């Protein structure tokens, strides 16, 4: 028979495990959270200011260094993802379709893989991604944080308007329907 001194730690561990499991399940069940830049960065911005997207340069999957300034003047969907993230992989076909459908209007999807190059190449062999993919494990995490992802969650997307201002930050999976609503606010004709 177990003594009360042995039972109490076991009960505490079970309680903590149950609470943690519940919290993780609730987090995974949430729809994507759209966080307006002003709400997320309120402490960093004075009233009336806008958040200009941070500049960065990173190698794409082919080893070519790309700079975010390469797409100045376009509406950008900057998506942080990984091959080991099921919600990330679920939204990629929608992003491929959005790029094809609205690219001629000055819309550009840019993928930032928080992953290793080999895994990304293997995934891309089965999927015809029609937008630039940059790959970096550690630099991508830091870059994601600079773009407002303080929780380090994936997938994480940022919408940047034609003036290089961040208009929306989306934590979690971004559906095509939701993305189109956000793009319509930035003069992309649906």
Residue ranges of the chain with pLDDT lower than 50? 21-47
156-168 burial string, b = 16+ CB within 10 Å, else e? bbbbbbeebebbb
Q: How many beta carbons lie within 10 A of that of residue 174, not counting itself?
A: 26
How much of the chain, in percent, has pLDDT values that exceed 70?
74
- Whole-number pLDDT of residue 51: 85
If we measure between CA atoms, which residue out of 90, 91, 77 comes closest to residue 166? 77
pTM: 0.76
- Whole-number pLDDT of residue 4: 59
pLDDT, one tens digit per residue, over 19-64 is 554 444 444 444 444 444 433 433 344 445 568 899 999 999 999 9
- Whole-number pLDDT of residue 13: 60
DSSP tag of 83: T
- Whole-number pLDDT of residue 44: 41
If we measure between CA atoms, which residue out of 156, 150, 173 comes closest to residue 113? 156
Distance of alpha carbon 22 from alpha carbon 46, whole angstroms: 38
- Whole-number pLDDT of residue 2: 55
CATH of 33-184, one of 2.70.98.10, 3.40.30.10, 3.30.1360.120, 3.40.630.10: 3.40.30.10
- Whole-number pLDDT of residue 137: 82
- Whole-number pLDDT of residue 138: 84
């Amino acid at each position: 028979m177990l003594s009360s001194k042995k039972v109490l730690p076991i009960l505490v561990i079970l309680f903590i495990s149950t609470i943690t499991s519940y919290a993780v399940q609730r987090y995974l069940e949430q729809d994507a959270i759209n966080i307006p830049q002003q709400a997320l960065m309120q402490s960093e911005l004075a009233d009336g200011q806008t958040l200009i997207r941070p500049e960065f340069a990173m190698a794409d999957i082919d080893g070519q260094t790309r700079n975010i300034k390469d797409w100045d003047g376009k509406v950008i969907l900057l998506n942080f993802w990984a091959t080991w993230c099921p919600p990330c992989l679920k939204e990629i076909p929608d992003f491929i379709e959005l790029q094809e459908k609205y690219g001629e209007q000055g819309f550009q999807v840019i993928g930032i893989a928080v992953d290793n190059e080999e895994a990304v190449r293997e995934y891309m062999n089965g999927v015809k991604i029609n937008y630039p993919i940059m790959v970096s494990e550690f630099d991508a995490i830091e870059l994601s944080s600079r773009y407002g992802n303080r929780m380090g969650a994936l997938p994480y997307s940022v919408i940047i308007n034609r003036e290089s201002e961040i208009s929306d930050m989306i934590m979690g999976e971004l559906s095509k329907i939701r993305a189109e609503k956000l793009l319509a606010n930035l003069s992309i004709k649906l």
